[in-house]
Amino acid sequence: MPTRPKYGNRPTMKDVATRAGVGLKTVSRVVNGEPGVTSATVDRVRAAIAELGFRRNDSARILRKGRTASIGLLLEDLGDPFYSALGRAVEEVARDHDSLLFTGSSAEDPEREEELALAFCARRVDGLLVIPAGTDHRYLLPEMRAGTAVVFADRPAGRVAADTVLTDNAGGARTGVAHLIAHGLRRIGFLGDRPQIHTAGERLRGYREAMAEAGLPVADRWVAMGPTEPARVAAALDAMTGGDDPVSAVFAGNNRITVGVLRRLADVPLDRRPALVGFDDLELADMVTPGVSVVAQDPARMGREAARLLFRRLDGDPTAPRTLHLDARLIPRGSGELPPRG
């Protein structure tokens, strides 16, 4: 007595073959649209398929064929608008390549990233698109050697050579800070994400470079790196806008932090607010008063380019790994053009 698999009792090709009075291989031919079957036979098989409600088990097919026609997308947080826009773009490209998409959020936890990545590999995804949470991806080397294509996006791969798509984070921050400087602001603070996050460090670097280029000093208390929770951001903002050495402008290191700053400033009269430029765009940034000036990335483009690189590898591209740099674009809307206070 054979065990019944747990998923009900689905008809198999064998059942269809029996019902149609043909061989198994003939059913396979019909299901896959292969030539060399009389139309009469095709009809009989099709009828049996319809009667039994047969649907080919792609898991079995995959086991035999090798390619799973699926890729895994590992991002930081599906719920973040930046990453969901990126994910949607990846999905479109996957669809163009008849591939399905596994999605998982690492929640900025390297262990969780590894766990998910290896789970995807165990499912034998053809490729992996990773927004890194960790900084050491050598755990992927055996998978890559075994043929799994891997592309990194948003942050660089750790100790592994692979295609990567990055925004020019330092350059973007430099542009944003230079914009503040051009508007007469000289005492500029930087509010960033945790320093171990690569993009946070790069943006901080861009900030320092812009300040240095303009010959402006940076006081220690003007730089605050840490979690993006509203309370932390508010406290850090208060610290650098208060005291006897207050900043008159702030560069916010990402969308979460910009939102935190905006909330904290909501009750502050316009003429007492620091100028503000944020990294990453926000949905209603142009509707707020004053409009929020930002350095915008293009998450959809990042997703699209990364996915294209991935499928190029799957198509057999043998060239050396490359890194694609995307520009960040300054969008002035008012908050970054406020005059310096007193």
Partner DNA sequence: CTGAAAGCGCTTACAG
Q: Which does 29 bind (CB under 5 to 8 A by kind): a second copy, DNA, none?
A: DNA
* Among 26, 29, 44, 87, contact with a second copy (rule: CB under 8 A): 87
* Among 18, 57, 84, 135, contact with DNA (rule: CB under 7 A): 57
* Among 33, 53, 64, 220, contact with DNA (rule: CB under 7 A): 64
Q: Could you tell me which stretch among 88-96, 202-210, 225-233, 237-245 binds a second copy (CB under 8 A)?
A: 88-96
The Cα angle at residue 298 between residues 297 and 299, in degrees rounded to 5: 105
Angle between helices 39-52 and 24-31 (to 10 degrees): 90
User: Binders of a second copy among 196-255, rule CB under 8 A?
Assistant: none
The Cα angle at residue 80 between residues 291 and 308, in degrees rounded to 5: 105
* Among 42, 62, 218, 330, contact with a second copy (rule: CB under 8 A): 62
Site string for a second copy, 253-292 (x = CB under 8 A): ------x--xx--x---------------xxxxxxxx---
DSSP code at position 259:
H
Joined tokens for residue 121: 């590999």
Q: Which does 214 bind (CB under 5 to 8 A by kind): DNA, a second copy, none?
A: none
Is 110 or 340 the residue whose CB approaches a second copy more closely? 110
Site string for a second copy, 165-204 (x = CB under 8 A): ----------------------------------------
User: Binders of DNA among 4-23, rule CB under 7 A?
Assistant: 5, 10, 12-14, 22-23
Nearest alpha carbon to residue 129 among 116, 139, 146, 111: 116
Q: Which does 236 bind (CB under 5 to 8 A by kind): a second copy, DNA, none?
A: none
Strand segments, DSSP code E, in 27-173 are: 70-75, 100-105, 127-130, 149-153, 163-167
Q: Could you tell me which stretch among 13-21, 82-90, 201-209, 328-336 binds a second copy (CB under 8 A)?
A: 82-90
With binding defined as CB under 7 A, does residue 28 bind DNA? yes
Q: Could you tell me which stretch among 20-28, 116-124, 180-188, 192-200 binds a second copy (CB under 8 A)?
A: 116-124
Residue 193, Cβ neighbours under 10 Å: how many? 23
- H or E stretch including 27? helix 24-31
With binding defined as CB under 7 A, does residue 63 bind DNA? yes
Q: What is the four-CA torsion angle of 206, 209, 213, 215, rounded to 10 degrees? A: 120
68's CB contacts (< 8 A; 6+ apart) are 62, 123, 124, 125, 126
Nearest alpha carbon to residue 300 among 93, 112, 41, 43: 93
With binding defined as CB under 8 A, does residue 146 bind a second copy? yes
Q: Identify the burial level of 235 via C-beta atoms within 10 angstroms of its C-beta, where 0-12 means exposed, 13-18 middle and 19 or more buried.
A: middle
Answer whether 306's CB lies under 8 Å from 165's CB: yes
With binding defined as CB under 8 A, does residue 135 bind a second copy? no
Residue with tokens 């707020």: 288
Residue 254 CA to its chain's centroid (Å): 14
Q: Could you tell me which stretch among 28-36, 71-79, 130-138, 249-257 binds DNA (CB under 7 A)?
A: 28-36
Answer whether 280's CB lies under 8 Å from 221's CB: no
Question: Rule CB under 8 A: which residues touch a second copy?
Answer: 4-10, 53, 55-60, 62-68, 70, 77-81, 83-85, 87-89, 91, 100-105, 118-124, 126, 142-143, 145-148, 259, 262-263, 266, 282-289, 300
Question: Rule CB under 7 A: which residues touch DNA?
Answer: 1-3, 5, 10, 12-14, 22-26, 28-29, 31-32, 35-38, 40-41, 54, 56-57, 60-61, 63-65
